[in-house]
Every structure is written in C-alpha cells, then in structure tokens.
Structure 1
Amino acid sequence: MVAEAMENKEVILEILPAGSSNGLAVDLGLMKTLDENVAIAFQGNYIKRDTIEIINKKCYHLSDLGLNAKLDKNYENSDLHSKWGYLLQALKTLIDLGDSFVATITVNNGTIKSEAIMIVIANSKKYGTGVTINPNGIMNDGRFELVIIKNLDLIILGKIISGYIPVSFRLMGNIMVL
C-alpha cells in the first residue's frame, strides 16, 4: 500500500521485513536484525525494481495462482504461524492437491492455453522460504517471468525445493513450463 502511494514519486522506500517468511526481503538480502536493516537504509544501498499490475494491485515480487495461493490461504487460516506451521500447511496442501485448471495466457502478441496446478508471475527468484521458483528472476531487468507448473510429482517437487528447476521448454520468451 505504501509502495503504491509512492509510485510516481522520487523517493527511496526501505523495506523492514517482518513475519515468518518475506520473499522480497530474502531476495534483497534483508533478513537481518532490525538494527542491521535500519543501518542498510541509511547507507545508500538501493535498487530500482520492476512493477506489474495484476487486477488493480501492484506486484513487486511474486504472485501466483493455484497450489501456492492455496497454501498461503491454508497458512493464513491456521492457528500455527511459524516455519513449522508453514511446513505443516505445505504438507496438508500437497496431500490435498486437487485438480488442475486451464489458463489462457496472452503475452507478446501470442496466446497459449495450458493446463496447470500453479502459475507464478515472477519478478524474483525465491519465495521467503528460500525455495527458488524462477532461476531467471532479476528484480530490475524490465521483465516478469511466467512459470507454469503443469503437474507435480515427488521428483519435480524435489528439484524445485533443491533449486534445480526442471524447465522443460520455453514459449514466447519468458514463459517457463514445468
């Protein structure tokens, strides 16, 4: 909300991370103590980063549909808010995977239709848990990548968690389909 209000202003916005997992702060290297983050704010360390608007909301890091969105909702509705709570909800979400959905994506003057269990609109590499979802993510390269995960088995899940994203092919530039 603050970032949206400052969008067309010549100001530097400092992020002071809070919560159990803050992916933007992880990618910026800000998962330190409050004192260290305040010191960083006054040392002239800053980057310009890209912004995309999704249904009238600004996105600076990662936005997703499907599996991870379901995991986030399960976590928010749970009583245990910690890394253990997140792990518990991840297991619950994976066990209760559910059906895939069909998405029609129009980008770069082309359209693809794909079945998916998760789609990530990514301006960065990692989730706050440290899991790499977009190895090509750079926050200020003028691009957002689109990661489409069509199915998820233990091998693909293991590769994602270990940081070895199995990109099988690319369509229309920055679309990765797993």
Structure 2
Amino acid sequence: MKYIHFIVNPISGKGKHKIRKEDLEAFFPSNEYKIVVDYSEYKKHAIELTKNAVAKNPEMIVACGGDGTIHEVASGLVNTSIALGILPVGSGNGLASNLSIPKDFEKAIRIIKQGNESAIDVGSINNHYFFSNMGLGIDALIIKKYENMPTRNLSTYVKASLQSAMGYKANKAIVHCNDTVFEVNPMLLFISNSNEMGYNMSLTPKASLQDGWLDLLVVSKLNILEQLYFGSLVLMSKTEKFKKANSQLVKEVKIEMENKDSIAMQLDGEYYESKTNIFKISILEGSLKVVN
C-alpha cells in the first residue's frame, strides 16, 4: 500500500480549489493507497506540517498550493528519499509550470498516481533553500507590494512592478563569483534555478532545473525608459537582448550588501527580510526528488 501525504493551503488561488480529503479519496482507492491530508493555517505552517509528515515516512508528500506552499514543503524534503508531488492551485505556479505539471486538477492527479520521479537541483542561500529563484533587488519590493494587494493575478503583478519601479532605490552590492569580484548598484540581483518565475514570464529563459548551475542576472540601476524597455523584454522572455544585463552561470556566489538593519529579499516569490547583509549562495545538485 502506497502512503501519500497531502499538505493543502486552503487559501491558495483565492481559495477556489476546495481540495478535501473526500475529493482525493475518490482518486486513490483505500485498498491501494493510504491518504493523509493536512491543511496549513498560516504562513510557514506548511514547514511544520512537512516536518511531522516526514517523520511518518510516506513515499510522497504532495504540496497543494502556489509557489509559497511548494517552497515550504520542498524545503523539508531536500536530501531525503521522499518525493515531492505538486497540485498547483496558486496564482503564479512557476515551478509546476517548469516541471510541466498542469493546472488541471485531474491531469495533475494522474501524474501523482503514475509516480514518475526525477531529481532536480536546489539553490541554497545561508540557511534557506530556493527551488525556482531568489532575488535581492527590485523583485523583492515587487513581491512585497504584490502580497499586499487584494487580488493576485498577472495584472496586479504588473501593477506592483510599475509602482516599485517609480520609487526603487538600489543598495550597493559586492558580488564574488567565478573568481571575480565586482561592485554594483543593482536594480536587479537575481539568481535562478529554473526558467520561469510564474505567469509564463522568465528572466532566465535558458535556466534548467537539472544542469548543475545557477543563472545569475545582474542589472544595474536604470532610468525609467530603460526600466520600461527591460520590463517589456521580461514579459516576452527575451531578457538576453538587454545589453546592460550581466548574465552568467555560477556554482557559488557571495554577495555583500550595503550594511543595513535588514535586507529585503524574495525566495520563490515570497517576501522575506534578512538580518544579515552577507549571502552565500550555492547549488545542491540533484538533491530533491520530484514527481512529474
């Protein structure tokens, strides 16, 4: 009998999904599967629920939510034998899209039942993980504004981006990578493990979850016209055409930000504030099993 543990964020995707245990049991007959379903109640609760689920040793833990829920669940499965399953019911769904997991509920369930596993790389930053991307530039401010908006969709993400562009002030950073050191006042300091951020947009369209590299993208401070042009390239996933972008593959990066009380950053589309101004980032090759 196969044991699958589901962790559901009931408010992902505006709470329209209503994933209940009875719904899941209809697809997983009790003579073949043991099904356990937990519901997260607040931000970071899925981390605790995942830890408790791992102790019960299921074959798979399925994150039912958006990128934030997936991030919390996946963080507890790095370097374990337990596979991550995904039922994408959030707004952006960047990692699920990169793994070709459909938003259609029954099609995503079919992938979970088939159980085909592969190993993907994971990004590590200080004591945290990221699976799609992280950033220490304007993207963190965009996420902060986006999280405070009454609705979450592509139009509100674009609105948050435009608002952020008007008032963003870059913090000086010293970047160590590939045996070089450079100083920059970045509008964007972005490190990606995947080729999609969500909403079918990409800053790093050539990035791969399985190539053993992280994609570093640094864009210095821009004037408003340059920001609008760069934004249009992001929407078209053609950032490689932007001549002011510094893009390179990295295994490890050290970033020293201008010393402040806290540094804004985003991890997989979730806003965080860090009390340190030094960030050590590296790739953990093939350290997460996923079902796709």
Common topology (TM > 0.5): yes
Aligned mates of 2:248, 2:153 — CA distance in 1: 37
Kept in 2, the 8 Å contact 1:47–1:140? The answer is no
Equivalent of 2:229 in 155, 172, 176: 155
Give the equivalent residue in structure 2 for 1:144.
Answer: 214
Report the 3-state secondary structure (helix = DSSP H, G, I; strand = E; otherwise coil) of the residue aligned with 1:68: helix
- Larger C-alpha radius of gyration, 1 or 2? 2
Given residue 57 of structure 1, which amino acid in structure 2 is its aligned partner?
Answer: H
Deviations 1:65-99 (A, max 9, x none): 12111111001112223333323322322333x22
Given residue 200 of structure 2, which amino acid in structure 1 is its aligned partner?
Answer: G
Equivalent of 1:53 in 106, 114, 124: 124
| TM-superposed deviation, 1:100 | 2.2
Given residue 209 of structure 2, which amino acid in structure 1 is its aligned partner?
Answer: M
Distance 1:173 1:159, change over 3 A: closer
Identity in percent = 24
Aligned mates of 1:91, 1:153 — CA distance in 2: 9
Matched, 1:84 2:159: no
Q: Cα RMSD over matched residues?
A: 2.3
Give the equivalent residue in structure 1 for 2:198.
Answer: 128
| TM-superposed deviation, 1:167 | 5.0
Q: TM-score, normalised by structure 1?
A: 0.85
Given residue 5 of structure 1, which amino acid in structure 2 is its aligned partner?
Answer: G
Aligned mates of 1:50, 1:68 — CA distance in 2: 22
| TM-superposed deviation, 1:171 | 6.8
Report the 3-state secondary structure (helix = DSSP H, G, I; strand = E; otherwise coil) of the residue aligned with 2:155: helix
Aligned mates of 1:91, 1:169 — CA distance in 2: 20
Give the equivalent residue in structure 2 for 1:38.
Answer: 109
Given residue 135 of structure 1, which amino acid in structure 2 is its aligned partner?
Answer: P
Deviations 1:39-78 (A, max 9, x none): 1112243331111211311111111112111111001112
Equivalent of 2:93 in 22, 31, 50: 22
Given residue 159 of structure 1, which amino acid in structure 2 is its aligned partner?
Answer: L
Matched, 1:93 2:164: yes
Give the equivalent residue in structure 2 for 1:107.
Answer: 177
Distance 1:130 1:171, change over 3 A: closer
Kept in 2, the 8 Å contact 1:67–1:118? The answer is yes
| TM-superposed deviation, 1:32 | 1.9
Tell which deviates more after alignment, 22-31 or 166-175: 166-175
Distance 1:169 1:68, change over 3 A: closer
| TM-superposed deviation, 1:172 | 9.2
Kept in 2, the 8 Å contact 1:107–1:172? The answer is no
Kept in 2, the 8 Å contact 1:122–1:134? The answer is yes
Kept in 2, the 8 Å contact 1:108–1:172? The answer is no
| TM-superposed deviation, 1:170 | 8.4
Count how many residue pairs are aligned between Structure 1 and Structure 2.
Answer: 174
Given residue 204 of structure 2, which amino acid in structure 1 is its aligned partner?
Answer: N
Give the equivalent residue in structure 2 for 1:6.
Answer: 77
Q: TM-score, normalised by structure 2?
A: 0.54
Unaligned stretches of 5+ residues in structure 2: 1-71, 251-292
Tell which deviates more after alignment, 123-132 or 109-118: 109-118
Matched, 1:174 2:249: yes
Distance 1:157 1:172, change over 3 A: closer
